[in-house]
């Protein structure tokens, strides 16, 4: 081979190597850019989605909050994505996690949040909290904030709270010469209910159909769902039996209380509200979120009572803002900034005034607009008062089988009039078998 040919081949070979290196660098840069493309940290604001399963006034308020957040700063753009309900949100989130295409913020119920934490599918917020100078965890209502805490780490922030409280007619209250002491214990309320039934021929009280009221009252009597070590179901203890028998007797024997049940969807709930608003009953036990549907020229509100032997301890639940673990670091940071805005004293007070649900910060009461609103609408403070000492929601370790057993027992007691001991003994056996199978 001639020296000239050797020289030409050497030059060509060197050029091919150079081209390969340049292509490789270009591909590497392209991959790096692709991995950061979603955040666009250097090119503009971080764009994130907030998934929530709400409609009506709640959805309108959420979208207003999103708009206000987007307008007040330039670093993050939030887009709200409405789902059908909480269950649909949870199902779609699990699919999104599997596909590795998650939103940055998701509104979930407590049990859903716990399940995802166990699967390591939610991001811890500890580093964001620690680096936020004005974040004050102590200002959150403890029973709400703790629902996002697992093993000392914070995985969720409460966006709003709910609890079951008492609503009653002012005219009957005054005509019967009652005082606020009537709501001190269930025993005193039942005595007043019996008197109202006899003298006015209306229902003295209306518990809401289902397990919620019965469970709340059982907890307020000192009952527990599980043993401290979580291995034994305790729903047939004397505290539970006495509580459920109290309501069975009032409904089916003394007829001092009445209950609506069945129908389509929430039909029973609104029928109960209508019975009270139309004067067919003195009052009922319902959600703090009912306040938007009630006329407080006619009604007043009170916290749930305890018993002569025990202080009140009903459930108070929070709807939680969470951040999926597979969201990018920039998206997680952006999501936390939005959640911090949503849970600020001003916005949680705004949420409560707009929707009737409970603000998640104690300092909400110091917000001037809320203070003025509460002065004109004292019922708005009742759920917040109750939440201070309430019991956190029960997370069913069997995936819902314990609560299902209680639901069947509640129908037997409230609708069929079966004795509480019989219904709860059967429920405990079913629930214990379900718990044993998990262990």
pLDDT tens digits, 141-197: 988 999 999 999 999 999 999 999 999 999 999 999 999 999 999 999 999 999 999
Lowest mean pLDDT among 25-34, 83-92, 145-154, 261-270: 25-34
Sketch the domain layout of the chain as residue ranges.
Answer: 46-161+317-387, 163-316+395-438
Q: What pLDDT is attached to residue 266?
A: 82
Residue 399 has pLDDT above 90, yes or no: no
- Tell me whether the CATH fold assigned to 46-161+317-387 matches the one assigned to 163-316+395-438: yes
Q: Are the beta carbons of 90 and 108 closer than 8 angstroms? A: yes
Query: What are the tens digits of pLDDT across the range 255-286?
Result: 999 999 998 878 999 999 999 999 999 999 99
What pLDDT is stored for residue 42 in this prediction?
A: 55
- pLDDT band for position 392 (cuts 50, 70, 90): confident
Identify the band that residue 17 occupies on the pLDDT scale cut at 50, 70 and 90.
very low
Please give the pLDDT value at position 143: 83
In CATH terms, the fold of domain 46-161+317-387 is D-Maltodextrin-Binding Protein; domain 2 (3.40.190)
Q: What is the pLDDT of residues 294-347, one digit of tens each?
A: 999 999 999 999 999 999 999 989 999 999 999 999 999 999 999 999 999 999
How much is the pLDDT for 62?
Answer: 97
The pLDDT tens digits of the residues spanning 212-221 come to 999 999 999 9
Please compute the mean of the pLDDT values over residues 359-371 and round it to a whole number. 95
Distance between CA atoms of 1 and 288, rounded to whole angstroms?
A: 94
Enumerate long-range contacts of 378-383, CB under 8 Å, 24 or more apart: 378/300, 379/291, 379/296, 379/299, 379/300, 379/301, 380/291, 380/352, 380/353, 380/356, 382/165, 382/288, 382/301, 382/302, 382/303, 383/161, 383/162, 383/163, 383/165, 383/288, 383/301, 383/316, 383/357, 383/358
Mean pLDDT score of the chain? 90
Residue owning tokens 């956190």: 392
The fold of the 163-316+395-438 domain, in CATH, is D-Maltodextrin-Binding Protein; domain 2 (3.40.190)
């Amino acid at each position: 081979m001639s020296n000239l040919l050797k020289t030409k081949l050497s030059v060509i070979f060197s050029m091919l190597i150079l081209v390969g290196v340049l292509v490789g660098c270009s591909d590497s840069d392209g991959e790096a850019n692709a991995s950061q493309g979603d955040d666009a940290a250097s090119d503009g604001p971080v764009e994130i989605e907030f998934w929530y399963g709400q409609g009506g006034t709640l959805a309108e308020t959420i979208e207003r909050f999103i708009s206000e957040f987007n307008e007040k700063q330039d670093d993050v753009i939030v887009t709200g994505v409405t789902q059908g309900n909480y269950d649909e949100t949870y199902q779609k989130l699990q699919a999104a996690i599997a596909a590795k295409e998650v939103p940055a913020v998701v509104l979930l119920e407590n049990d859903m949040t716990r399940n995802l934490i166990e699967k390591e599918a939610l991001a811890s917020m500890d580093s964001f909290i620690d680096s936020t100078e004005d974040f004050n965890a102590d200002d959150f209502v403890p029973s709400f904030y703790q629902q996002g805490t697992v093993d000392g780490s914070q995985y969720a922030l409460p966006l709003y709270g709910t609890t079951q409280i008492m609503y009653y007619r002012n005219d009957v209250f005054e005509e019967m010469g009652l005082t606020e002491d009537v709501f001190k214990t269930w025993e005193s309320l039942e005595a007043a209910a019996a008197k109202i039934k006899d003298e006015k021929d209306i229902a003295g009280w209306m518990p809401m159909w289902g397990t919620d009221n019965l469970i709340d009252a059982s907890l307020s009597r000192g009952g527990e769902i599980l043993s401290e070590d979580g291995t034994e179901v305790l729903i047939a203890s004397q505290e539970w039996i006495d509580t459920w028998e109290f309501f069975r007797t009032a409904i089916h024997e003394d007829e001092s209380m009445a209950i609506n049940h069945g129908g389509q969807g929430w039909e029973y709930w609104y029928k109960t509200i209508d019975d009270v608003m139309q004067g067919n009953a003195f009052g009922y036990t319902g959600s703090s979120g009912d306040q938007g549907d009630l006329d407080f020229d006619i009604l007043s509100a009170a916290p749930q009572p305890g018993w002569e032997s025990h202080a009140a301890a009903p459930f108070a639940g929070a709807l939680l803002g969470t951040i999926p673990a597979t969201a990018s670091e920039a998206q997680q940071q952006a999501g936390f900034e939005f959640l911090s805005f949503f849970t600020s004293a001003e916005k949680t007070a705004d949420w409560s005034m707009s929707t009737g649900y409970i603000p998640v910060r104690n300092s909400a009461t110091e917000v001037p607009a809320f203070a003025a609103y509460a002065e004109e609408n004292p019922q708005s403070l009742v759920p917040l008062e109750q939440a201070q000492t309430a019991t956190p929601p029960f997370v069913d370790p069997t995936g819902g089988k314990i609560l299902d057993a209680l639901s069947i027992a509640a129908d037997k007691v409230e609708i069929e009039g079966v004795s509480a001991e019989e219904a709860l003994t059967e429920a405990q056996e079913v629930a214990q078998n379900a718990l044993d199978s998990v262990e």
